[in-house]
């Protein structure tokens, strides 16, 4: 059987049922066909939220170069998933969680930065985060997101010396995302001297998808 | 000839020598190597820098790495060619002969790979066909035929891009594209007739515009 020709004919997204219908074969046979296609790199399997498999059949795919890139690591570690505009790979080294956070900050995209808040749970090397942030002049931005993340997730405590150095850093731009300020996190804004671009409701969206119990926030309006 | 492994090593070598971030697009055969097309080797590595400044910087890096400058172009759209014992690299900036790098083309990039400080972006198979049509060497036609045989080309993107190139870039682009696709069609490879008709229409309209504006040698009535 010419598997490449089949992939060209059937290019698109399928479930097992729709693939077996399209080919006019039994489900068991469809599993075997998809297995053969996957062996040849002609199908990629993804899972939707409830665990159902989706099969993306494509006659031509990219050869795997290097290790996981920004979007893949972000999506693996954050409850909020980002649509990848392109495949990002890193050759010759592994991208670290700390690099992902800094890269997210540099994008200045609200959705990507929101997704990165969940990634702070995985940070182990605070010194690396500090050094990377220092290179970009974003120590306070990273620190403010760390404080925000700690309000919602179980995040490892940052070494007090690093925390102190981050707070002492000069701030060039008070905005993490231009013109966006927070109504709900004034305490963090005051502590770090930068504006948080999110409100409580934004972060709750993140928490709901993670199914993490969100701690009650001290509201500014509560007496 | 260079394969994907050799190309990866070369990019990593260049990326490690770069002291600042440089972004370049892999085009032609180099881009094809990033996909699992049947073609597994290319004669030379073709890359396009997004600015002349980046190209000059890369030229300096390659010079320091011991590559010999083989061709110095007379026009900006032509490549600098650098050669070493094992590699031949053509470096363009912003445009490739008659085709400009458009925003839409950048939006269609399929993959970006960081090789140290060198970020290589891989253009889409449709754009590989478009960049192949302006060079018009026998090998390029064969590569384009390979892509059309092995991949469901999104022809509407090819038509949209050729219209953009005609409007904003080189007016002659669609003429090159039409000749290129027609030759491929005559070789027996499936190019939809509708696509050929649309591309011919764009090129004919452009030729008529040129003739009516008096820039051509032939005068048209009406």
Please report the residues numbered 103 through 132 in chain B whose beta carbons come closer than 8 angstroms to any beta carbon of chain A: 109-116, 121-122, 125
Give the dihedral of Cα atoms B172, B174, B175, B180; nearest 10 deg.
130
Query: Which is it for strands B2-3 and B45-49: parallel, antiparallel or unpaired?
Result: unpaired
Q: Are A128 and A98 in contact (CB under 8 A)?
A: yes
- For B98, residues 6+ apart whose C-beta sits below 8 A from its C-beta are B77, B134, B165, B169, B170, B172, B173, B176
Q: Closest approach of chain B CAs to the CA of A216, in angstroms?
A: 41
Digit-coded pLDDT (tens) for B25-54: 999 999 999 998 988 899 899 999 999 999
Residue of A2, A60, A88 best to disrupt the B interface, most CBs of B under 10 A: A60
Q: What is the model's pTM?
A: 0.87
Judge: A86–B121 Cβ closer than 8 Å, yes or no.
Answer: yes
**Structural domain harbouring A41:** 3-57
Q: Are A154 and A121 in contact (CB under 8 A)?
A: yes
Q: Are residues A103 and A130 in the same domain?
A: yes
> Does residue A122 sit within a domain?
yes
Q: Are residues A120 and A180 in the same domain?
A: yes
- CATH of the domain spanning B2-212, picked from 3.40.50, 3.30.460, 2.60.120, 3.40.1350: 3.30.460
pLDDT in tens, chain A (223 residues): 889 889 999 999 999 999 999 999 999 999 999 999 999 889 988 887 778 899 999 998 899 899 999 999 999 999 898 989 999 999 999 999 999 999 999 999 999 999 999 999 999 999 999 999 999 999 999 999 999 999 888 899 999 999 999 999 998 899 999 999 999 899 999 999 999 999 988 888 776 444 344 444 554 444 3
> Does residue A136 sit within a domain?
yes
- Compute the distance between CA of residue A90 and CA of residue A96 in angstroms, rounded to an integer: 11
Q: Are residues A36 and A74 in the same domain?
A: no
Q: Are residues A98 and A172 in the same domain?
A: yes
Q: Which of A34, A57, A80 is the last residue of a domain?
A: A57
Average pLDDT over residues B144-172: 92
pLDDT at A223: 38
Q: What are phi and psi of B8, to 5 degrees?
A: -60, -45
Residue B159 gets which letter from DSSP? Answer: H
pLDDT at A222: 44
Q: DSSP assignment of B174-202, as one string?
A: HHHHHHHHHHHHHTT----HHHHHHHHHH
Residues from chain A contacting residue B36 (CB–CB below 8 Å)? 41, 60-63
Digit-coded pLDDT (tens) for B182-218: 999 999 998 999 999 999 999 888 888 878 876 655 5
């Amino acid at each position: 059987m010419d598997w490449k020709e089949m992939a060209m004919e059937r290019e698109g997204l399928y479930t097992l049922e729709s693939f077996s219908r399209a080919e006019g074969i039994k489900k068991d046979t469809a599993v075997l066909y998809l297995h053969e296609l996957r062996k040849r790199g002609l199908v990629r399997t993804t899972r939707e939220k409830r665990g159902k498999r989706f099969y993306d059949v494509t006659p031509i795919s990219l050869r795997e170069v290097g290790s996981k890139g920004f979007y893949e690591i972000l999506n693996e570690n954050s409850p909020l998933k980002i649509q990848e505009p392109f495949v990002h790979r890193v050759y010759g080294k592994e991208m670290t969680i700390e690099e992902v956070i800094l890269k997210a900050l540099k994008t200045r995209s609200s959705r990507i930065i929101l997704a990165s808040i969940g990634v702070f749970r995985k940070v182990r090397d605070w010194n690396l985060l500090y050094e990377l942030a220092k290179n970009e002049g974003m120590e306070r931005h990273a620190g403010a997101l760390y404080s925000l993340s700690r309000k919602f997730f179980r995040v490892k405590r940052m070494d007090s010396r690093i925390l102190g150095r981050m707070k002492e850093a000069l701030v060039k731009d008070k905005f993490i995302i231009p013109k966006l300020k927070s109504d709900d996190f004034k305490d963090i804004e005051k502590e770090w001297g930068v504006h948080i671009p999110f409100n409580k409701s934004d972060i709750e969206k993140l928490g709901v998808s993670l199914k993490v119990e969100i701690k009650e926030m001290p509201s500014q309006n509560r007496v | 000839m260079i394969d994907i492994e050799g190309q990866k090593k070369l990019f990593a070598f260049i990326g490690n020598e770069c002291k600042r971030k440089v972004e370049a697009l892999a085009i032609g055969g180099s881009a094809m190597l990033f996909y699992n097309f049947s073609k597994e080797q290319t004669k030379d590595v073709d890359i396009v820098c997004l600015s002349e400044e980046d190209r000059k910087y890369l030229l300096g890096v390659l010079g320091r790495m011991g590559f010999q400058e083989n061709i110095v172009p007379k026009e900006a759209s032509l490549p600098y060619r650098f050669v070493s014992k094992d590699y031949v690299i053509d470096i363009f900036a912003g445009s490739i002969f008659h085709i400009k790098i458009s925003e839409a083309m950048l939006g269609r990039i399929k993959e970006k790979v960081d090789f140290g400080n060198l970020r290589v972006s891989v253009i889409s198979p449709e754009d590989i066909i478009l960049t192949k049509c302006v060079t018009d060497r026998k090998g390029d036609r064969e590569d384009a035929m390979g892509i059309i045989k092995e991949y469901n080309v999104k022809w509407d993107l090819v038509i949209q891009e050729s219209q953009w190139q005609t409007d904003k870039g080189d007016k002659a682009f669609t003429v090159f594209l039409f000749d290129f696709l027609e030759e491929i069609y005559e070789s027996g490879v499936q190019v939809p007739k509708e696509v050929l008709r649309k591309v011919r229409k764009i090129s004919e309209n452009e030729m008529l515009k040129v003739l009516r504006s008096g820039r051509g040698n032939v005068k048209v009535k009406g």
